[in-house]
Every structure is written in C-alpha cells, then in structure tokens.
Amino acid sequence: MNPLLIQVINPNTTLAMTETIGCAARAAAAPGTEILAVSPSQGVPSIEGHADEAIAAIGVLEQVRRGREQGVQGHVIACFGDPGLLAARELASGPVVGIAEAAMHLATMVATRFSIVTTLPRTVIIARHLLQQYGFSHHCAALHAIDMPVLALEDGSGQAQELVRRRCLQAKREDGSGAIVLGCGGMAALAAELTHELGMPVIDGVGAAVKMVESLVALGLGTSKYGDLAFPREKKISGAFQHLN
C-alpha cells in the first residue's frame, strides 16, 4: 500500500512554527501516513487578525495548488482561524480540513460543552465567527485569550505556554465545560501534557485535522466537486496571482 501523503499547511511564514506543527502532525499520523509540512514563501510571520488571514489565505491557495501537483491526497490548514478554508476546498479534490474546525468537531464528541484558549483578544472574534459558521456556538462555554502574540509561543521562554496552562486550569474551574480546545497551531505540543495534568480532554487541532483527513481519504471521501465547492470557473487571473490559474 502506498503511503497516504497529507499536506499540512502552516499559513504563516515562520518556519519554527511550521516545524512545531509538522511535529504535532507526525505524532498524530497513522503508520502509513506521510506528512508534508509546508508554509508559503511569502506572507505574514503570524496571523493575528482579519488582514493577516486574508494574506495567509493566498498562501494557503498556493500551497494547495502545489500540493495537488505533488500528489498529496489531503490538506490541513494549520491556523486556528481556518483561513481560506472554503477557497482551498474549491481548489482541492481531496479533503481540506482546518484545525479549528477539526478540534471543535472532536470536542463535541467527548464533552457536551468545551472552552477555547487562544492567544490575543483580537482573535477571539475570529473563533466566534467560526463557531457560528460551523454550528457550535451553543457548544462553546467560554473563550479565553492569554493576551500574548502568537510568536511568543516560539520565543523559547515557555512563558506563553505557562499562561496557556493557567488559563486552561481556570477554564476547568469556572466554565462548566468538559473539554478545552487549544486556539492556536503553535500550542499543538501542549495538548497531551495538559490533557494529563487537567484530567480532561485538551484538544489540539493539528493532530485532530490530520486524523480527519486520514479518515476522509480512507472512506473514499474528497471535497465535493458537485455544487458550490466545484473547481473555480476558468478565468484569466492576473499579476501576482497568475500561478493560481
């Protein structure tokens, strides 16, 4: 059996984070799965708002296109805002899964309500909109932000990680929820340890999304090419976006 090749796209340009995410993806992958961790050659070093997301979405599209040329069978968008998710699905034939989406879906299968712990307060609205779009507004008990930028998770000090830990403990005490969703791809490495320390599921979306893609491929399910996720209509794309043709 040929290995299953899954492309895990870090939508920002920080390679250390691509590494973190790649590790988490590999740790979650099944024996026969190969992880191709990539990031766009240009864009933003971290995604902390709507404009960052808009830029990152282009990087995601480029990578999805490239991934298809390389024969990957599925794609993970490894940023908690799931930037460019529906656009990427139009370009892909295999499944495309976002890490926010994957973590939220799985959270509803192990608990009746979950909490989210993310980085900056300004990204909370992005999570809120995703909850609404995916149908999980009523399943989320509370959203927390540690008020640190995304790249603080990569500064080696462990300070951001410690804040995440404390917020998770606080969420456990106060929210009345049964699981916690980690709201940033850069937190992926913390899930197992926190699950153990808290005694409740703490869910990382990177691993979750890898499993979702593996599952969909195994079931013979790709992105629907019938209806509104069909390949984009052919048209002349110009300028810096030509390669998306």
Within residues 138-177, the interface with a second copy by CB under 8 A covers: 138-139, 149, 172, 176-177
Instruction: Choose which of 16, 31, 70, 183 interacts with a second copy (CB under 8 A).
Output: 31
Residues 197-236 that bind a second copy (CB under 8 A): 198-201, 203-204, 207-208, 211-212, 214-216, 218-230, 232-233, 235-236
The CA-to-CA distance between both ends of the chain, in Å, stands at 33
Shortest approach of a second copy to residue 157 CB, angstroms?
Answer: 19
Of residues 62 through 81, those in contact with a second copy by CB under 8 A are: none
Question: Considering the complex, what minimum distance in angstroms separates the CB of residue 162 from a second copy?
Answer: 22
CA distance 149 to 183: 12
To the nearest 10°, the Cα dihedral for 67, 106, 128, 134? 70
Give the residue among 117, 29, 61 at the shortest CA–CA distance from 38.
61
Least separation in angstroms between residue 210's CB and a second copy is 9
Contact 202, 195 (CB under 8 A): yes
Binding to a second copy by residue 41, rule CB under 8 A? yes
**Candidates 15-23, 137-145, 153-161, 181-189; binding stretch for a second copy (CB under 8 A):** 137-145
Residue at 17: amino acid letter: M
Q: Which of 2, 69, 156, 239 binds a second copy (CB under 8 A)?
A: 239
Q: How many CB atoms lie within 10 A of CB 96?
A: 32
Tokens of 21: 């995410």
To the nearest whole angstrom, how small is the minimum distance from the Cβ of residue 65 to a second copy?
Answer: 10
Q: Measuring CA to CA, how many Å separate 57 from each of 62, 63, 87?
A: 9, 10, 8
Among 121, 155, 162, 166, binds a second copy (CB under 8 A): 121
